[in-house]
Amino acid sequence: MMQQHNMLFAGGTVIDETGERRADVRVREGIITEISSDLSAGDDELVDIAGCIVAPGFVDLHTHLREPGMPEAETIETGSRAAALGGYTAVVAMPNTDPTQDCVEVVEFVSKRGREVGLCDVRPSGSITIGRAGTQLTPFADLAAVGVHLFTDDGSGVQDEGLMRRALEYAGELGVVLAQHCEVASLTKGAVMHEGECCSHLGLPGWPALAEELMVHRDIELSRLTGSPVHLLHLSTARSVELVRAAKADGLRVTAEATPHHISLNDERLTSFDTRFKVNPPLRTTADIEEVKKGLLDGTIDAIATDHAPHPPVAKDRPLDEAPPGMLGLETALGVARSHLDCSWQHLLGAMSWRPAKIAGIDDQHGRPIVVGEPANLAVIDPDSQWEVDPSALASRSRNTPFIGVGLAARVRHTVYEGRIVVRDGKATA
């Protein structure tokens, strides 16, 4: 385990939930110990961050770490490193591992391995159903007792309405949140890409927007019925955003996330037949992109989540119907989001840090205001950096980024996790 650093971040601008101010930040033994303008470093290491932003570390609600089960795609170590490089101090690990995160043993393995690696806070989610098979509920209370807050069958939606209703009723009293991958499976058999003009042209089986929207609508109504919270994963369509907006206006306990790729890439990318652009839910139309962005800007969509989904070349170098869906996201999320969302830094950082921290139930450690006494989980951002992804330099074990050759704005310079510099000058320190 790396030593905690005593250091002074000097010359930056602090942005957190409470606002924005010029201030130097002193970190000692994992805690923010002093905040003021023009502090002197003294015995502490001076880190000059003139022109940079100091923000609470990011929280990803949607990370596939692939361990246990698929070490050729990613491990908790490589995924944690990618997260740290992206400015994340916490990630919610999706449950579609092998074996599934549906029991205490697997969940504890992931937590423990995350702590051993020590590059960010790895928070395993649990599946809603055993083996994500959609038939039998996982032991929510047992898993909540070992720290699981978010449950999802991500990768597929819970198809059975009756089962989903029971799951919400049962989960409600435990204070945990169920998150849904919204996809009515009978409408997406064999689907490779968004159903529309482009798929018609390319002769690829389509994934209609309706398949997402029907389940968004269903789960909003189930939340209304049960009073339990629902988190809607990776929303991709204009109508989904509209449904969530109306649900929030009704005061329902509905939260939602959107991914960087669903606000930046449209379905026409598939005309290259490049499997890096195959993702689930699929890349949608430009009109959908605009509405998802509006949803993020007006707060209908609470959080930016990566759906970081590593796949090795041997899996992606297959025909489009066989290649698994998914793309990398952790190391590029900030740059893509900043390039495509026209909003204040505070609003953007809220979508990446304190709002997802609340949804994940980890807002006692992450997304905190930057004030004396708080844990030092921080991201230092160079807002003026212009950069391009070098796939060979990615920390992730896989290379399936769709953002090769795309100019990105803003980059994470340093990441501080539990008072340790885990990323320094854009490079992982361990």
Question: Which residues contribute to the site for other proteins (CB under 8 A)?
Answer: 192, 195-197, 199-204, 206, 208, 272-275, 313-314, 317-322
Nearer to other proteins, 196 or 419 (CB): 196
Q: Quote the CA–CA distance of 23 and 34 in Å, as a whole number.
A: 10
Min separation Cβ 191 and other proteins, Å: 11
Given 307, 321, 384, 390, the catalytic residue? 307
> Closest by alpha carbon to 236, among 150, 305, 190, 324?
305
User: CA-CA distance, 428 to 414, in Å (whole number)?
Assistant: 9
Q: How far is 19 from 369, CA to CA, in rounded Å? A: 9
* Residues near 306 by beta carbon (within 8 Å), at least 6 away in sequence: 60, 62, 63, 86, 259, 260, 329, 330, 333
Residue 307 among the catalytic residues: yes
Least distance from other proteins to the Cβ atom of residue 268, Å: 14
CB-nearer residue toward other proteins: 81 or 284: 284
Q: Minimum distance from CB of 187 to other proteins (Å)?
A: 12
Nearest approach, Cβ of residue 198 and other proteins (Å): 9
Residues facing 91 on adjacent strands: 60, 122
* Segments in 21-94 forming alpha helices (H): 76-85
Q: If you search the block for the tokens 């007792």, which residue do you land on? A: 145
Q: How many residues in total does the chain contain?
A: 430
**What stretch of H or E contains 31?**
strand 31-36
Using the minimum distance from each CB to other proteins, give the nearer residue, 45 or 321: 321
SS3 label, residue 183? coil
Residue 300, phi then psi, degrees to nearest 5: -60, -45
Question: Nearest 5°: phi and psi at 204?
Answer: -110, 140
Q: Which CB, 219 or 267, lies closer to other proteins? A: 267
Q: Could you tell me the smallest distance in angstroms from the CB atom of residue 229 to other proteins?
A: 35
When the beta carbons of 114 and 206 are compared against other proteins, the nearer one is: 206
Residues belonging to the active site: 307
